[in-house]
Amino acid sequence: MSSIQLATGAPGTRILGLGDYRPRRRVTNDELAQVMETSDEWIQSRVGIAERRWADDDETLVEMAVAAGGKAIAASGLAPDEIDLVVLASASLRRPIPGIGPQVAHRLGIPRPGALDLNAGCAGFCYALGLVSDAIRAGSARNAIVIGVERLTDVTDRTDRSTAVIFADGAGAAVVGPTDEPGIGPVAWGSDGDQHTAIEIVDSGYMAMAGQAVYRWATTRLTEALTQAMDRAGVTAADIDVFAPHQANLRIIESMTKRLGFGEKTVIARDIVRSGNTSAASIPLALGALLESGEAKSGDLALVLGYGAGLTYAGQVLRLP
């Protein structure tokens, strides 16, 4: 079994438990075809999505984050008072003040932790995972929880074929703690701010996306970030058991998989088929689905990459809990 490498003498961290929440309402491509000019064949051929989840009014960002976070804490074996850092990653907060990180922490029974919201678009979960991992290694936190949560339908025109077929809602969480055997590799992150208008919320209050520009950027520029993440962790593509990039587009996932040259043993996350693009929630949702189905198992080495609005990206190698 390959080991994740860190700088000499650096303490390690690992994911202790995962949790997720998927909204109740399933929205199929055939349902969307009733309100816009599209079809199941058109959507699946372009982005690979068969259905997605849309949150109802009572499935707020806070409620979904608490549900996913509660599952992750239960899976970790920790008590809430053993967690002292909460980072909530989201690109769909309707109001910047007050942030919901402290509220979610309170609802989870975590007493007076460091708590904040983070917006790095669809890279938010990986950005947050890198930050809390470094905070634990530096001694600024004992244990932490990262929660990616989105209600992208709040900022999506549900009659716009270019966005409504893609974006969805949900939450995923990970509890992170210290370990002697490193389970989270160094983060490889960056941004391309010259393309900041490629994904944005415009004056209408709705999301707009230059789909072709984002596709070209993701398929031509981000393989380097994935290679860098593996290099920093001291592993190769042959060591990777699970590849779980942000679930933005099935065609992008397939292109990345081909470019990296993964073998048949590597499980490829394709949660986008049933979940759509859930931005900062997509990676923990995809990992949870693979573990639940048995396609992945505890101890597997996973390569993850978040990327999106900003434009931002962040990748890591991690050991599954």
Query: How many C-beta atoms lie closer than 10 Å to residue 205's C-beta?
Result: 11
Q: Rounded distance, CA 236 to CA 36, Å?
A: 44
Task: Tell me the catalytic residues.
Answer: 122, 246, 277
Give me Rg for the CA atoms of the chain.
18
Q: Which of 151, 145, 230, 149 is nearest to 187 (CA)?
A: 230
- Among left, alpha and beta (phi > 0; psi -120 to 50; other), residue 121 is left
Q: Do residues 313 and 191 make contact, with C-beta atoms less than 8 angstroms apart?
A: yes
- In order of 119, 195, 226, the CA distances from 133 in angstroms are 17, 29, 19
Measured CA to CA in angstroms, residue 316 lies from 115, 126, 219, 227 at distances of 23, 7, 18, 10
**DSSP 3-state assignment of 311?**
coil
Strands annotated E in 63-213 = 85-89, 114-118, 144-151, 169-179, 188-191, 199-201, 207-209
CA dihedral of residues 55, 30, 203, 117 (deg, nearest 10): 30
